[in-house]
Amino acid sequence: MSEQPRTAVPRLVVTQDNEFWFIAARQGRLEIQRCADCHTLRHPPAPACASCRSLSWDSVQASGKATLHSFTVIHHPRDAAFGYPLLVGLADLEEGTRLVADITGIDRDELAIGMELEVAFAEHPHGETLPQLRKPGSAA
């Protein structure tokens, strides 16, 4: 059986509002946007604070500690650029925001809501380095 050709994965849309997050990810850091006025954390990045409407913000570096809030197992539609089944998790970060990311190195049958995870980084076919969720202390 021959391998299917890789398809073109759409490039991610990087804007002035989320560029800081992608730059940090390329450097292996998970940043969380923080309102500079009321200090509310928010993710995904947005131009204004949903709590106080301030346009001023900075960011804090996440610890990478997370727990699995929910997950899905994607079987279809298949794109040759990804491996299937594709495990995608919604994780509660220690800091209080949530992150959607691929789950790596964990079998579907091992996944359990509330299990401890950590954030690692990997380059994707579209050329961006993005966070992944894995078991704490597992090899990259």
Residues that bind Zn ion (CB under 5 A): 35, 37-38, 40, 49, 51-52, 54
State the minimum distance, in angstroms, from the CB of residue 38 to Zn ion.
3
State the minimum distance, in angstroms, from the CB of residue 42 to Zn ion.
9
- Considering beta carbons, is residue 54 or 63 the nearer one to Zn ion? 54
State the minimum distance, in angstroms, from the CB of residue 49 to Zn ion.
3
Q: What is the largest CA-CA distance in the chain?
A: 58
State the minimum distance, in angstroms, from the CB of residue 21 to Zn ion.
18
CA nearest neighbour of 36 among 19, 53, 24, 23: 53
- Considering beta carbons, is residue 31 or 102 the nearer one to Zn ion? 31
- Considering beta carbons, is residue 7 or 54 the nearer one to Zn ion? 54
How many Å separate Cα 10 from the centre of its chain?
Answer: 17
Peptide bond into 77 cis (omega under 30): yes
C-beta atoms surrounding 59 within 10 Å: 19
How many Å separate Cα 100 from the centre of its chain?
Answer: 5
- Considering beta carbons, is residue 47 or 136 the nearer one to Zn ion? 47
